[in-house]
Chain A
């Protein structure tokens, strides 16, 4: 069966520090992968999606970047965090037609 792993579960980082969140998928090959952010009390905002290794599409220009170095690995990064980067970050795989499988999320607090 397919599973998706996301870590860490929680993270507290100072403003200006770098960020690296990792997501890996098991049990499937060549998955479409997504990074979403969920701000407190708000819906989900699509940040990046990837249809293959090295292929990244950005939905919203911002202080974040994404990379896909391996087929089942998706990384979200920042060189310098801002207070506004705080939120709940969710990795997902799947399709817009059949639905998503989400990871358990990373709660990022920038202080």
Chain B
């Protein structure tokens, strides 16, 4: 069965610094992997997705993530943080099972950006 672990419920960076949000997954079959962003009192927005094509996936707002099968990781990065990046980020994994596909979300990481 699949699972998702986001390391660090809170991450704080300075404006202009590298953003690194960690996500590790477990899956018995090749997974589909996603990152979503949620601003306060809003729904989630899809940032990027990995669907077995290129291992380095580029998303919106300058974010990217790299699928590393050997490490079962899908960490989210952005070279230079902006104040507007302050939000909560969710990693998610989908895999096929007997009932079809199922998506599991991580517990989320809240990103703080300091001026």
Contact = CB atoms under 8 A, between A and B. Distances in A.
Most chain B Cβ neighbours within 10 Å, of A44, A95, A103: A44
Given A43-B105, A46-B103, A96 B94 contact: yes
Majority DSSP secondary structure for residues of A touching B: strand
Interface residues on B, range: 20 to 34
B43 A99 contact: no
B42 A98 contact: no
Interface residues of A, number: 20
A76 interface: no
Contact of B32 (A96, A102, A105): A96
Contacts of B102: 96
Contacts of B32: 96-97
Contacts of B67: none
B101 A103 contact: no
Contacts of A96: 32, 94, 100-103
Contacts of A21: none
B94 A102 contact: no
A102 B51 contact: no
A5 to B, nearest CB: 11
A89 to B, nearest CB: 10
Majority DSSP secondary structure for residues of B touching A: strand
Interface string B95-107: 0000011110111
A103 B103 contact: no
A24 B43 CA distance: 15
A6 B42 CA distance: 11
Interface string A32-54: 00000000001110100000000
A101 interface: yes
Given A43-B105, A44-B105, A97-B32, 9 more contacts: A6-B43, A43-B106, A95-B101, A96-B101, A99-B46, A102-B44, A103-B43, A104-B42, A107-B41
6 contacts: A6-B43, A43-B90, A43-B107, A96-B32, A102-B44, A104-B43
